[in-house]
Amino acid sequence: PVLDQYVIRKVGNLKIAVIGFTYPWTALTSAITGAAQWYKFGIKEEEARELINEIRKQEDPDLVVFVSHGGYGLDQKFARRVNGIDVYLSGHTHEEVLDPVVWNNTIIFQGGAHGKYVVSLDVDVKDKTITNYAYRLIKVRQNQVVPDPEISKLIEDAYRPFQKKLSEVIGQTKVMLHRRDYWQSSVGNLLTDAMRATQKTDIAFFPAWRYGATLMPGKITAEDVYNLIPTDGHVFSYSMRGKELKNLLENILGSVVNEDPYTRVGGDMIRFSGMKLVVNLTKSSGNRIVEMTVGGKAFSNDAVYSIASAHTRFQNSPLFGATYVKDTGKVFVEELIKYIRMNSPITSTLDDRINILGFQ
């Protein structure tokens, strides 16, 4: 392990062991040139069993708490298969869990995202066993919270050199721009439509991140855009034959909807522009896309399509056959700001780019 696998904390009269579980797909989803490429990640059931037994024996804790970035589905399966976890704080998929689930005597929950909630979990412990618990998901109402003066000053000092740029109004939106939605979102459609238009490609992709602030109708500032995309990822351009493109999309679909949570990467359907898909979820893996068009024309396995994307890695994988891969050097968040300036007011909404059959 690169980092400590667990820490011991005293809470009142209780001794708590807190174990960290890193996102198993970190190397797959991180930047190709990032540090993650030098490490191995995975779903380590047997290692976890051995570690929990070791902690129970050597530390004799009253409670074992797991803090995970595995995703709500994966974490539930993990808790069912690995004994000895009392409390399981799940992350990654940003679920607003109003009532925790209990598997294998393990209380599992998530607390949403963006600081919208505070999770309150009170447990009664007797003889190193939870006998009762009370759980609440408490809504944070920002306008009712008095800012901490020290933290406010730190923020003001950090903002000061960039305040003029961040506060500049670059356009407006007539609609609410919302990121979180299973198959598509108004933000996802805006991002990919903007990328396809600015890069002049057939297709554009952007990951289905579940974080990023919602924008209400009204003015858009540069800071709003940086809140949507708080990273400086470059735009990549490349080509793919139709057969490889469809294989990629089927693979991505599987990582979203596969029955086995260990085979899901976690999150929503990748955002895209330039295509229309009809997906039948009752079909077997690899056969779920039943209709597909690109640029309003019939899809062809033999056609070669131009693609732009940012914050993706599949273009670098030999599994998906991308060719002529090029880092354009353009920072996508800056390209998006330019697009909004030129195309305000924004009217991005949900549309018919993806239609789902068999979804309950």
Find the helix packing angle between 332-343 and 186-199, rounded to 10°. Answer: 90
Query: How far is the CA of 164 from the CAs of 138, 160, 168, 170, 265, in angstroms?
Result: 35, 8, 6, 12, 39
Tens of pLDDT, residue by residue over 221-243, are 999 999 988 888 899 999 999 99
Tens of pLDDT, residue by residue over 332-348, are 999 999 999 999 999 99
Q: Tally the C-alpha atoms within 13 A of residue 222's C-alpha that lie toward its C-beta.
A: 10
Name the nearest CA neighbour of 336 among 325, 350, 346, 326.
346
Average pLDDT score over residue span 269-291: 94
Task: Name the amino acid, one letter, at 53.
Answer: N
Whole-number Å distance between alpha carbons of 196 and 203:
6
For the chain, the distance separating the N- and C-terminal CA atoms, rounded to the nearest angstrom, is: 41
What does the pLDDT read at residue 360? 62
pLDDT reading at 311 higher than 90: no
Average pLDDT score over residue span 273-294: 95
Least confident stretch, 41-50, 166-175, 259-268: 259-268
What does the pLDDT read at residue 326? 94
Average pLDDT score over residue span 245-257: 91
pLDDT reading at 39 higher than 80: no
Handedness of CA 52, 57, 58, 59 (dihedral sign): positive
Name the nearest CA neighbour of 234 among 202, 176, 201, 195.
195
Under the banding of pLDDT at 50, 70 and 90, the label for residue 312 is confident
What does the pLDDT read at residue 209? 77
Under the banding of pLDDT at 50, 70 and 90, the label for residue 305 is very high
Quote the percentage of the chain above a pLDDT of 70: 96
What does the pLDDT read at residue 31? 61
Superfamily of the domain at 6-139? Metallo-dependent phosphatases (3.60.21.10)
Question: Domain 169-357, what architecture?
Answer: Alpha-Beta Complex (3.90)
Least confident stretch, 25-39, 174-188, 292-306: 25-39
CATH 3.90.780.10 domain residues, the chain = 169-357
Average pLDDT score over residue span 242-252: 94
Quote the percentage of the chain above a pLDDT of 90: 72
Under 8 Å between Cβ of 255 and 263: yes
Tens of pLDDT, residue by residue over 87-115, are 999 998 888 999 999 999 999 999 988 88
What does the pLDDT read at residue 60? 96
CATH 3.60.21.10 domain residues, the chain = 6-139
Query: How far is the CA of 214 from the CAs of 210, 218, 315, in angstroms?
Result: 11, 12, 29
Under 8 Å between Cβ of 247 and 320: yes
